[in-house]
Each structure stands twice: as structure tokens, then as C-alpha cells.
Amino acid sequence: RVHGDSTWHPARLPPLGSMAAARTPARVVLDAHPKALRSKEARVLMNACLAFFSERMRAKDPLADVIRDPVVDFPSGVFLFRLLEALTGTSAGDYNENAQSDRGKLENVAKFCRKINEIGVRAVGDGFWTSDGIAAGNALECWSLMVALALHFGCDRELARGSFLPIVEQHFRENETVAWKQQTRKFILVPE
């Protein structure tokens, strides 16, 4: 799997079953199951992470806006920098607080990703992210980042081991737009 990319490289895929399918270059696309983000387990996990973030952000600034949904609030990068400053207690560096364009948002998120890489925040479980995916509001990447930040900075709320999102995994042959194989599986966000 290419780190942070929702498309897996064929060299890193498990065997595809038939010899013909194994010879055909393929890509695998992961997407959150339509009902995944509304499940009870997902809500419990998100609420625990966001309560931890809110507590830290409000401790720094009692009037601070807080993160309500990572898929909505992470893409501009502004909340990410504010969160990082609250979690670390130090300045997170320069960023564009008024980013409106896709390019401005992507630059913010790319700076943020470089910053957390320097700090040592790493994806856990099946998690992954890229600046492009976060800026685009990719649910799996935003949730992966949310959980990694909570775990890295010592979230004091119970994050249930083995927490996951159901995802749809689609296998495509080269130059085809219709998946030849589709399955639902668990996307582990909090390792056992």
C-alpha cells in the first residue's frame, strides 16, 4: 500500500485468486461504507476523540471554536494547526488562517502533515493519510488522522481497542471503471 493513498499498488496486494486476474495490473480503492460514519461504534470513537480535542483547545482559549467533524473541519488545515498548538502548547508555525482556495487549503494541510511528521505522529491500525486526501475531505484519511493525533497525544478517554469502520474495498483491472470484485471489510482505527 502506498502510504496515505487510498489506491493500493498491485505489487502490495494479496493474491487476487485466479492466474488471469493476478497477471492483470489492478488497483484497489477503499471507501467508507455509506452507513459507517453513523454507526454507534463510530460515533463513540469520534465523540471520545473530539471531547479530548475540545478540552485541550478550550484550555488554551476558552472561546475557541472546536472541531465538530474531522471530515468537515480538517480540510482547510486551520483547525488542524489550532489543534496542534493546543496539544503541544507551542506555536505550530505559519499557516493561512483565511485559506479559501483549494490551493491555499492544500498548502495548509501539507505544512501540517510535514509538522506532525517531524513530531513523530504516525498512522495506527489500517490508518493512512496524505495532504491531498485530507484537503479533499476523504473520510478514511480524516478519521485516521483524528485517531492518530488522539493516541499520540495521550487521549485520556477510552478508545476501544479494535475500533473500526466498515469499508467497501473495490478491485479494478487496469483502465476499467467498473469493479470486478467488491467486498466489505473492517478498517481498523484503534489497534488491538
The reported pLDDT for the residue numbered 25 is 61
The reported pLDDT for the residue numbered 6 is 47
Query: Which pTM value belongs to this model?
Result: 0.81
pLDDT, one tens digit per residue, over 159-184 is 888 898 888 888 998 888 888 998 98
Nearest alpha-carbon partner for 28 in 49, 2, 53, 47? 2
Average pLDDT estimate for 106-120: 94
In three-state form (DSSP H/G/I as H, E/B as E, the rest C), the secondary structure along the chain is: CCCCCCEECHHHCCCCCCHHHHHCCEEEEEEECCCHHHCHHHHHHHHHHHHHHHHHHHHHCCCCCCCCCHHHHCCCCHHHHHHHHHHHCCCCCCCCCCCCCHHHHHHHHHHHHHHHHHHCCCCCCCCCCCHHHHHCCCHHHHHHHHHHHHHHCCCCCCCCCCCEEEEEEEEEECCCCCCCEEEEEEEECCCC
Average pLDDT estimate for 111-139: 94
The reported pLDDT for the residue numbered 64 is 83
The mean pLDDT of the chain is 84
The rounded distance, in Å, linking the Cα atoms of 87 and 94 is 16
The reported pLDDT for the residue numbered 36 is 81
Under the banding of pLDDT at 50, 70 and 90, the label for residue 87 is very high
pLDDT, one tens digit per residue, over 54-77 is 999 999 888 888 899 999 999 999
